[in-house]
Amino acid sequence: MTTKSILLAIALLLIASPVFAQGGGSSDLKLPAAYIAMGIASGLCGLGQGKAVASAAEAMARNPAAQAGIRGALILGLVLIESLALYTLVITYIAKP
């Protein structure tokens, strides 16, 4: 079964190679890649922000005396996390044709 799938993959690569050799069409993949990157960055930023807020809330509940320091570190961390999404948004605007 594995040799059959390897031979099939090689045959598909040999058949598809003339398609990649053509230079007539303009297949610019920068813009879709930038949009996919923006989606991934936004999703991971959301996950990171949720984890940071949950950890800060837990830390404030454990040690109420350190609430001001935890809040300052939380805000700085959220700013840095959000900057990743904003930089990716700028890249999507730069990648436009």
Instruction: Give all domains of the chain, ordered by start, each with its CATH number.
Output: 28-94 (1.20.20.10)
C-alpha to C-alpha distance for 51 and 20, rounded to whole angstroms: 43
pTM over 0.85: no
C-alpha to C-alpha distances, 21 to 3, 25, 51, 69, 94, nearest whole angstrom: 27, 11, 46, 59, 28
* pLDDT per residue as tens digits for the range 39-62: 888 899 999 999 999 999 999 999
The region of weakest confidence among 7-11, 27-31, 55-59, 77-81 is 27-31
Can you spell out the DSSP letters for 46-76? HHHHHHHHHHHHHHHHH-GGGHHHHHHHHHH
